[in-house]
Structure 1
């Protein structure tokens, strides 16, 4: 014999009920069935709302009654032919009349007792079961309705009654052994006390009813039919990658259901556990899906973690003080006072010094708990031995659950480090001796990030999702997006990185898409975006609060560079090719570095110097390994190197600068490159990364541009000035030829002093043969004295800069 239970969504409407009937009829071909059903979807809430309004003298309860009445009449009309309706209409009308009497009584008295509340709340199951039973009888005459109140006996603890299993099991066994019906249909949730008053088994109690019946008849198995394909590794509404759990133990299922896995009511497992009756969680709307199998000893399980669950709306109540140390009975008194107030304790942790004890309770009970505890310990508080009870709200509990965690070392360490890397602050920790559950209390705002981060760590083959917020989609930005789109599959398969662009912005528009922007069509998505707003951009990132968030700055904009500290404070990593932040005043540069460490948010700017060349990364490794830089010589401007390599008597200075801009080698304002400011910023960044404090004012910039060129305020005027001063540039070229040298714009740092400017490089110098847009850097250190460490390669261009930014993103993914 089998027991089946269908939940509220499974019986939400006539179409869904027909699906349930199909499942019942198919199962009935092979087994006798006990079928438990919930109230129609939403009806229990309506019943409770109606009783609340009636007790509050609000006549709106009458409208709610009419809505409840209408739902059931509609179900009858859609499920049962008119010629067969008379009997069920009379039965349902009788129940509805009793409901109306109860509601009217609440209205007249201006109150509702717990007993009356149970009588009202149970009406939904009582009526739905009768309607469904009648619809089933029309297709399977060997079926009937049985009132669960005739079989399940409880105490008089209205709202969450305790079952008298000795009496209940006898009644169930006697009834089913004497019944010859193929299918018996029963209402869930309701029972009776010894005085025949209706009691209820707690919200979600229909699952419990089914388990009680299954235990009483010693069923072959218990099937819970719902609207999902079993229990999931996490809440699929919050974790898109959550997967159904194939098989799980009774204890694991109880832990997950206790910590918020709503697919199963927590007490359900207890009645069938002793009898080892297996449970199936199945989907009414996908009956052929495998579902979840719950049993004593699951087979073929490799992952020690079965699921991640959470409980919302938690308050943390802390009692602490030196007066608790070594004093017997403090904990006993605390829990006794909570018990007297009927406050359920969900979470407990106590300092080994006995200085404090902390409990997690539902937020709705926080005020009552605080008052009761302060009253209980009033004397100790007045004497200063114990502090007044502290309450923190807007918290939630996240739990890792797995029977085999005790056999795998390092699970808790992985959990804590994973949360820490995403700046999820842990307020309290609890782990039972069985090591079946590791629970942490965190801020409610971080729950989605925490669940996704942990799920990614323990269930997704270590696949790490990076969420990118990209500002700047010009030459570099466009190449960067193209590279991500091109390499997406490779990154996922080979580096276990899922790179997703969540936001794009330029100077005019911005667009956000939490599930990721389709990069094949990003231009039209951005075009349809909203007006760009830096404050709103930051607010959106903060609101989304996504794990592994990275802000990518592809601009050369000062106002954008000044936003970095906002992102770092939100634990959002920053990757930038914008040199302004790292070459700003030293205190600001230092602040960004410190914020990066404080909030565990990487701040990477490899492309600030040498585009895609690993100059800064190499320098960091030198310093970290204990080396010390004494001298730096470098050609750091790919654009200036390109310009002076191509400048000739047949190719004017004006024309070659124009060409450099067309090829994307110069900044949007070429004067930044030609004035030496860009190179000065780069050498300053290298000096700072070498461990020296310096500001831009300390760098001697020997600008080769005439003053008139420097005074221009726009690009057309600047290029016109280059033509006007052509003789000046030709003179530089002639001087280089006369000395048999090549012109290079060189940056130097030596003995604490720095300079940038044109130099005439002889043939024997390493810089002489530097071609095209290449950069070169020479580091003289404690270890590299006579022969410097040399780094050389392409140092300008949108593609190589984009690849450097991409490399920084991947570095963060591998942290």
Structure 2
């Protein structure tokens, strides 16, 4: 029978977010001795650290111990078997962006294994997967939380859930959902001054670590579309997928076939005129251009792309790589409930995961 005095933690993914989460987990285990949090499994895509007797792994040295082993990770069905047979309740922490792991959530949840994760793909993929995940959790009593799938550690999902669960009617959600796009447009089209050339700003953003290794993975708008899909579903819209509504790509068609991110950046200056014209058109109206996502709940319209805003608008006034999300609801009237702050980074993303873990512990112990 599962002990109520200990909880087993299993972690998939030990990269940037995974390392930050381990540090926060170590601090949490020290601050809250009960229930005892035992790390029993940790893996990357190539290695796994665990044993048949569920021996606790020292949290502080887990990354180093994992690096020293040669054991390959089990297939996901075998991992589910292993965790389901554990002599205590288990929380699986998925710090990856793997579709394969996301697809396995219904299996884990259906066998009583709770899941916390920043993995957007689980909640923005097919609508059937979304339904299967929450049905499995409801049937087994396992918990699933994914605060960091939108806005890193910002309380975006929990706020939306609270609005819906308390009976408020959400009419519109609008905002800047990408730290990359926020940084790019705050630099390219600032509210004062002229900004640099588009290609130069994209290159700078990559050098500073704000973009993916291939910036096209940010500029195609799909990351924002995934986040909008999640929020729209939570607001009650059965959105089929992130490609089932208009998403504006900022990749010139001629550069979609570039073989690498470096080749893309080399050729991007040839297309600066297009973005410059977009910026100038906004300036003629006394406005600035920003890359935003919006959900009109009443008309069931979701879209991602460039919009013009007055310089005094909260979306225009963002700094750095901050995110901003505005919830328009019946209760809040014409003045939206606004959440703003860092929407990217290992530490803040891990904070959202750790916060979700604390919520799960409060429900399963």
Give the structure-2-normalised TM-score. Answer: 0.88
Instruction: Give 1 or 2 for the bigger CA radius of gyration.
Output: 1
Alignment of 1:672 onto 2:217:
yes
Query: In 1, distance between residues paired with 2:35 and 2:207?
Result: 34
Where does residue 87 of structure 1 map in the other structure? none
Call closer, same or farther: CA 1:542–1:607 in 2, change over 3 Å: same
Work out whether residues 475 and 664 of structure 1, in 8 Å CA contact, stay in contact via their aligned partners in 2: no
Where does residue 318 of structure 2 map in the other structure? 770
Q: CA deviation at 1:659?
A: 4.8
Call closer, same or farther: CA 1:507–1:768 in 2, change over 3 Å: same
Gaps of 5+ in 2: none
Please provide the CA RMSD for this pair.
2.3
Query: In 2, distance between residues paired with 1:650 and 1:691?
Result: 39
Query: In 2, distance between residues paired with 1:537 and 1:654?
Result: 45
Query: In 2, distance between residues paired with 1:784 and 1:526?
Result: 49
3-state SS, counterpart of residue 582 of structure 1: helix
Task: Point out which structure has higher relative CO (alpha carbons under 8 A, 6+ apart).
Answer: 2
Query: In 1, distance between residues paired with 2:141 and 2:45?
Result: 29
Alignment of 1:473 onto 2:14:
yes
3-state SS, counterpart of residue 55 of structure 2: coil
Call closer, same or farther: CA 1:659–1:500 in 2, change over 3 Å: farther
Alignment of 1:522 onto 2:68:
no
Query: In 1, distance between residues paired with 2:359 and 2:257?
Result: 42
Q: CA deviation at 1:795?
A: 0.9
Alignment of 1:783 onto 2:331:
yes
Where does residue 706 of structure 1 map in the other structure? 252
Call closer, same or farther: CA 1:546–1:656 in 2, change over 3 Å: farther
Gaps of 5+ in 1: 1-446, 457-464
| CA displacement, residues 374-403 of structure 1 (integer Å, 9 cap, x when unaligned) | xxxxxxxxxxxxxxxxxxxxxxxxxxxxxx
Work out whether residues 504 and 512 of structure 1, in 8 Å CA contact, stay in contact via their aligned partners in 2: yes
Call closer, same or farther: CA 1:664–1:548 in 2, change over 3 Å: farther
Q: CA deviation at 1:634?
A: 1.4
Alignment of 1:541 onto 2:87:
no
| CA displacement, residues 617-668 of structure 1 (integer Å, 9 cap, x when unaligned) | 0111111111121211111111210122123767554454455456554455
Where does residue 95 of structure 2 map in the other structure? 554
3-state SS, counterpart of residue 777 of structure 1: strand
Where does residue 234 of structure 2 map in the other structure? 689
Written as runs of structure 1 = structure 2, the 5 A alignment for 1:443-462 is 447=1, 449=2, 452-453=3-4, 456=5
Work out whether residues 675 and 710 of structure 1, in 8 Å CA contact, stay in contact via their aligned partners in 2: no
Written as runs of structure 1 = structure 2, the 5 A alignment for 1:115-264 is none
Query: In 2, distance between residues paired with 1:566 and 1:661?
Result: 38
| CA displacement, residues 330-373 of structure 1 (integer Å, 9 cap, x when unaligned) | xxxxxxxxxxxxxxxxxxxxxxxxxxxxxxxxxxxxxxxxxxxx
Where does residue 722 of structure 1 map in the other structure? 268
Work out whether residues 40 and 57 of structure 2, in 8 Å CA contact, stay in contact via their aligned partners in 1: yes
Work out whether residues 577 and 801 of structure 1, in 8 Å CA contact, stay in contact via their aligned partners in 2: yes
Alignment of 1:809 onto 2:357:
yes
Call closer, same or farther: CA 1:500–1:715 in 2, change over 3 Å: farther
How many pairs does the alignment contain? 352
Query: In 2, distance between residues paired with 1:779 and 1:692?
Result: 15
Where does residue 628 of structure 1 map in the other structure? 169
Query: In 2, distance between residues paired with 1:797 and 1:478?
Result: 12
Query: In 1, distance between residues paired with 2:125 and 2:89?
Result: 27
Q: CA deviation at 1:688?
A: 0.5
Work out whether residues 323 and 340 of structure 2, in 8 Å CA contact, stay in contact via their aligned partners in 1: yes
| CA displacement, residues 422-468 of structure 1 (integer Å, 9 cap, x when unaligned) | xxxxxxxxxxxxxxxxxxxxxxxxx3x2xx22xx2xxxxxxxx3322
